[in-house]
Structure 1
Amino acid sequence: MYTVLPSPMLHTITGLRFQPIVDFHSGQAVAHEVLVEIRNVNLDVLFASLPTRCALQIFFWQANTLLKMQDKGQYWLNFPADKLLDPNAMELLLALRHQRRLTIEIQDPLTLTRMSRLEQRSVHNNLHRLKAAGWKIWLDDLTYELADDYARLALPFDGIKLDRSELNIPGRFDAFVHVVRDKIAGAVVVEGIETAQDLQRACASGAQFGQGFLWPESRIDAVVTA
C-alpha cells in the first residue's frame, strides 16, 4: 500500500493547505484544492523533481487524512499523469472509499500528449473505470498550445483547469475558454485570479469557476507518522 513516504524531506510535511475553488455565480467555494505544507522548502522546485511514486504516495496520504476529518467537504488532489498507466495505482484508486468527496486532478498535461497511441487508449479506458467507480476527474494546467491535442484525445474529463498564465493573455483568453468548453469538457476553472480585474475577466469568459490568491487559503496541521 502507498502509506509510507520514503524521503526524509517528505517527513517534514507540517500541514495541509486548502485553496478555494469558487463558483462565479454564487461567489461561494464549492471545493478546495489540497496542497502539502513543508517549512523552508520551495514546493515548486520540490515537486518539479519529485519522483512520481512519491507524488502518488502523497496523494494517498492526503486522501486518507481528509477522509478521516469530521467535515464533509469536497477536496481536489493532484495526481501524476503517468500513474494512470500503473496497474497498482489503478487498483488502489478503485478500492479507495472516496465517499464522492475527492476529485482527481491530473497533473502534467504534456505527459499525456507524449504517450503512444496504445498508452493513450489505456488511459482512456482507465479513466472510464475510475468514473464508473464514482471518481470525478479534472485535468490541471491546460495551455492554449495543448488544446488541439486534448480535443483529439477526447478523454472523459469532468472539467478542465486552465493554466494560470492564460488569464494574462486577454487577446485569446475568451476564445480559449470557448474552445475548451465546446471541444474538451463543459466545466472550466480559471486559475491565477489575484485581483478584481482578473475576476471580472474570468467571469466574462464563460468559465464557471475560479481559483487564485484573491481568495484566502486555510490550513491545518497534519504530519506523516508512518
Structure 2
Amino acid sequence: MIEKAYRLEPIIDLSIGQPIGHELLAGATACPTWTDPEWRGWYAHLSEEIPRLAKRVDGLIFLNVSGDQLLDSHISRSLRALREFAPRIVFEWIEQSFHDASLIQVLVKLNFLRGLGFAVAIDDIGASHGVDGLGRAGIVKAEFCKIDGQYFQARRGLGPDSLRGLVQHLSHGGSRIIIEWIETEDDLYLATEAGAHLGQGFLWSRSKD
C-alpha cells in the first residue's frame, strides 16, 4: 500500500530569512522502491491533496518529478489537474530515470506545463551521481536552479569564491538559485556570500522534524 504521508521542507529567501514556500517530500523510506503503479497512485493522491494543502500553507509548493514520470500519461493527467493552482506549483525536474533518447519529449512536456502557468526547477546541479543538472539547466531556462547539497558541503572551508562562479553562471539566465543542505550558520554565510537567493536544509527544518 502506498504511504500517503509526506513532509514539507521550507525554502528560505536568504535576503530576509523568510520562507517563499516548501518542497513536498514523499515518504522517505518507501518511495525509492515504489513501482510505476504506486507512483501513479501517489500523484493521483497529490492531485487531491494539493488543493487542501494550498489552503493551509502559504507560498510556493515544489513537487519532484522525473523525466519518465513527466511522460507517463497517468501522472501527466494528475499534474494537469493542478492547473488551478499553477501559479503556486513548481515542478522540480530530478535526475532519476533520465534518458537522452527521450530528452526532446521531456522538454516538450515541460514547456507545455509552463504554458499552463506552472514553474520549473532543475534539481541536482553539481551532483556526482546520475545525470548532472548543469546540462539540463543549460537547455531549460528554469525559474529555479538547485545546487546539490553534497556539492555545496564539499566546499565548506573553501570560501564563497568556490561557489560564486556557478551561482553567477546559473543566475545569468534569470533563474533564482537554491542551495540545499544548509545546516549551520556557517553554511548560511557561505551560501549568502556566494550569491544564492534561496536556501533549504536542516538549519530551518530541524525544529519541524
TM-score, reference length from structure 2: 0.80
Matched, 1:24 2:14: yes
Matched, 1:77 2:66: no
Matched, 1:174 2:157: no
> Which residue identity does 2:23 align to in structure 1?
E
Matched, 1:123 2:118: no
Counterpart among 92, 116, 121 of residue 105 in structure 1: 92
CA–CA distance in structure 2, aligned partners of residues 193 and 53 of structure 1:
34
Q: How does 1:151-190 map to 2 (within 5 A)?
A: 151-152=137-138, 154-170=139-155, 171=158, 172-182=162-172, 186-190=175-179
Counterpart among 70, 76, 84 of residue 90 in structure 1: 76
Runs of 5+ unmatched residues, structure 2 = none
CA–CA distance in structure 1, aligned partners of residues 135 and 204 of structure 2:
32
Matched, 1:135 2:125: no
> Which residue identity does 2:9 align to in structure 1?
Q
CA–CA distance in structure 1, aligned partners of residues 56 and 137 of structure 2:
37
* Number of equivalences: 197
Q: 1:36 to 1:127 in 2, by over 3 A?
A: closer
CA–CA distance in structure 2, aligned partners of residues 139 and 209 of structure 1:
14
Q: How far apart are 1:195 and its partner, in Å?
A: 0.1
> Which residue identity does 2:20 align to in structure 1?
V
TM-score, reference length from structure 1: 0.75
CA–CA distance in structure 2, aligned partners of residues 35 and 92 of structure 1:
17
Counterpart among 202, 208, 211 of residue 197 in structure 2: 208
CA–CA distance in structure 2, aligned partners of residues 72 and 148 of structure 1:
31
Q: Which has the higher contact order (CA 8 A, sep 6+)?
A: 1
Q: Aligned residues: percent identity? A: 23
**Moved runs in structure 1, 4+ residues, more than 4 A?**
none
Contact 1:177 1:207 in 2 (8 A): yes
Q: How far apart are 1:88 and its partner, in Å?
A: 3.7
Q: How far apart are 1:110 and its partner, in Å?
A: 5.5
